[in-house]
Amino acid sequence: MPSNTESIRPQSWQGIDDIVIIGGGLAGLFCALKLAPRPVTVLAAAPIGFGASSAWAQGGIAAAMSEGDTFDKHLADTVAAGAGTVDEKMARLMISEGPDRIRDLLAYGVPFDRDLEGKLLLSREAAHSERRIVRVKGDRAGKAIMEALIAAVRKTPSIRVMEGYVVEELISEGRFVSGVIARPDAGQSTTRVAFPARAVVLCSGGVGHLYQVTTNPTEARGAGVGMAARIGAVIADPEFVQFHPTAIDIGRDPAPLATEALRGDGATLVNRAGHRFMTDLHPDAELAPRDVVARGVFAEVQAGRGAFLDCTKAVGAHFPELFPTVYASCMEAGIDPVTQPIPVAPAVHYHMGGVLVDADGKTTIDGLWAAGEVTSTGVHGANRLASNSLLEAVVFAARIAENIKGMMPEPRLYEWPKSAGESDDLVTLEDSPQLAKLRRLMSANAGVIRTGEGLKTLIREIVALEEERGRTRVRFANMATTAKLIATAAYLREESRGGHYRSDCPEPREAFHHRTFITLKDADRIAAELVG
Ligand SMILES: Cc1cc2nc3c(=O)[nH]c(=O)nc-3n(C[C@H](O)[C@H](O)[C@H](O)COP(=O)(O)OP(=O)(O)OC[C@H]3O[C@@H](n4cnc5c(N)ncnc54)[C@H](O)[C@@H]3O)c2cc1C
């Protein structure tokens, strides 16, 4: 039953929704289309096409489809990137179903790049041993995929899309989910709406906005992990967060990206004194693995020396024509990258951890499935291989649709929650001082470089924030819950692996050569011990 005492009104079309999908990114829309003609309601915090990382993806989708490529090669690259904790069975399943899901996307109208003979053009990305990334017009894959799916969704009468509905709670009865509670008007309404459902699919994306600097859209707040954990779902690998090393540090939130292609073209990383610091840290300097470069940049920023991407020699006057998006972002902030170094900082980019699901996308709670970045399927291990995340979203969304069709739970009677008073003092979450503090604390203590002491402090501070939380309590509670799970799992993992780096234990350790499985109860117990 819902935890809040505010007024909750049932939706105007009385009855039980067949299937409710939370989130209108790639995972949510693909699942809705695959479920058609079954009735589906998609609840999305923002209008579909906005507020979703899927629309911002620049690279593309990885799929072993070229002549020289094999599923084994794609698997080997995925396992190597994952730093020892990839679930190989799940990764093989994802990889082997990839080509069919690409064909589905083509059928929905995605205009993937093709050669003169009409064959898919496959490109190569860092850490992929073969050309296997399907793209659209260079860097427009995410936008084009979403445009095609949105058009298909709008034409499908069985899919009802409710935009601007921020889901705040999953309604649970014992270990069974029977619906969701959402706040309309992009979360600004004083009234909440209940959607009873026979099945709920969580597709709410990542956690970037738990941190101060992120490349993710504002809606990526870790709400899905928090909501699921609060009704007892097992969360896996929450400590594994991937940072992009070179977000443009111009005070924009979210931070625009300075693409890795700039370093590929010879741009160098320097500090304020003009010292090229990556040459001290790795033989490949700026082309070292992403996490190594992220730590190098972070250390300079932390030490007050600043970090800058100097493209003046390597790219120079060609900048506007070769990198128009980055150029526009810099010029807006008054930086001319043709003649000036670009200030950069690492930014949260992708969450490898999330709600634990099995091969059919089932969580540990009956009636609740999940797909996309909100999940942990195990395919990424401790670090994601580039372009595997869109692949994961479509493969598991399709598997969920099959599973629900095969084993839909029986309809259940639902009692409408009673109204318990209106409240008119709604403070927007964005303005809340607790949120600003949480993001600052997460970046400082659960960011690129972590320590046991810093994580202990962070966990205590999160508990204190939870105690003082204000009117925005449900949404803030979801965020604080996810933050606590990330911090606790990072505190317990006394080693460094993949996206998790502890300067007090900088090497991988055999004792931690496994995934993390944690519940909110576990995290609360550890937090209580630390608070004393
Ligand atoms: C800048 C950028 C570039 C990237 N490039 C690539 C790439 O090239 N290749 C690749 O494979 N991956 C890439 N990624 C990662 C990839 O885009 C994401 O992992 C993937 O799109 C996640 O899809 P999703 O459907 O799970 O989540 P999203 O696309 O983020 O969608 C989440 C949806 O849930 C909604 N939502 C969130 N909270 C709530 C709530 N409480 N109630 C209701 N709705 C809610 C959101 O508004 C949105 O509609 C990139 C990510 C970023 C940020």
Provide the b/e sequence for 351-370 (b: ≥16 CB within 10 Å): bbbbbbbebebbbbbebbbb
Supply the mean pLDDT for the chain.
90
Catalytic residue among 290, 399, 469, 493: 290
Residue with tokens 């003649």: 339
Query: Residue 182 and residue 207: Cα distance in Å, rounded?
Result: 19
Among residues 115, 149, 300, 233, which one has the least CA distance to residue 478? 233
Question: What is the 203 CA–ligand 1 centroid distance (Å)?
Answer: 9
Give pLDDT tens digits for 262-284. 888 899 999 999 999 999 999 98
- Phi then psi dihedrals of residue 22, to 5 deg: -100, 110
Whether the Cβ atoms of residue 328 and residue 258 lie closer than 8 Å to each other = no
- The 10s digit of each residue's pLDDT in 381-433 is 999 998 999 999 999 999 999 999 887 654 444 444 433 333 434 556 666 88
Residue bearing the CA closest to ligand 1, atom 10: 387
Q: How many CB atoms lie within 10 A of CB 531?
A: 12
Instruction: Count the helix, strand and coil residues of the chain and give each as a percent rounded to the nearest 5.
Output: 40, 20, 45
CB of 25 closer than 6 angstroms to any ligand 1 atom: yes
- With a CB cutoff of 8 Å and minimum separation 6, the contacts of 321 are none
Distance 246 CA to ligand 1 centre (A): 19
Ligand 1 atom with the smallest distance to the CA of 46 is 47
What's the gap in Å between 30 CA and the centre of ligand 1?
13
166/475 Cα distance (integer angstroms): 9
Q: Which amino acid is at 467?
A: E
User: What pLDDT, on a 0 to 100 scale, did the predictor assign at position 4?
Assistant: 45
Residue 17 pLDDT > 80: no
pLDDT in tens, 482-527: 999 999 999 999 999 999 999 999 999 999 999 999 999 999 999 9
The Å distance, Cα 58 to ligand 1 centre, comes to: 12
CA of 223 to the centre of ligand 1 (A): 13
Q: State the Cα angle at 263 between 259 and 265, rounded to 5°.
A: 105
pLDDT tens per residue across span 108-151 = 999 999 989 999 999 887 788 999 999 888 778 999 999 999 99
d(CA 511, CA 22): 37
How many H-runs (helices) and E-runs (strands) does the chain carry? 16, 19
One-letter-per-residue 3-state SS of 156-190: CCCEEEEECCEEEEEEEECCEEEEEEEEHHHHCCC
Three-class HEC string of 227-256: HHHHCCCCEECCCCEEEEEEEECCCCCCCC
Is the CB of 28 within 6 Å of ligand 1? Answer: yes
pLDDT band at 30 (very low <50, low <70, confident <90, very high): very high
Is any ligand 1 atom within 6 A of the Cβ of residue 373? yes
- Give the pLDDT confidence score for residue 490 in this predicted structure: 98
In short, whether 23's Cβ falls inside 6 Å of ligand 1 is yes
Give the pair of three-digit tokens for residue 46.
């923002």
CB of 361 shorter than 6 A to ligand 1: no
**Between 433 and 473, whose confidence is greater?**
433
* Residue 221 pLDDT grade (very low, low, confident, very high; cuts 50, 70, 90): very high
Site to probe by mutation for ligand 1, drawn from 390, 391, 396, 479 as the one with most ligand atoms within 8 Å of Cβ, is: 390
**Ligand 1 contact, 490 CB (< 6 A):** no
What is the pLDDT at residue 475? 87
| Residue 134 near residue 102 (C-beta atoms within 8 A) | yes
pLDDT for the residue numbered 27: 98
CB-based contact 391:96 (threshold 8 Å) = no
Q: Give per-residue pLDDT as tens, 145-195.
A: 999 999 999 999 989 999 999 999 999 988 899 899 998 999 888 888 888
At residue 470, the pLDDT reads 58
pLDDT at 3: 47
Q: What is the rounded CA–CA span in Å between residue 354 and residue 205?
A: 10
Q: Verify whether residue 290 is a known catalytic residue.
A: yes
Instruction: Please give the pLDDT value at position 188.
Output: 87
Interatomic CA distance for residues 57 and 141, integer angstroms: 6
Q: Residues 467-477: what's their mean pLDDT?
A: 76
Q: Which residue has the higher pLDDT, 415 or 292?
A: 292
Ligand 1 contacts CB of residue 166 (under 6 A)? yes
Token output for 238: 């929450």
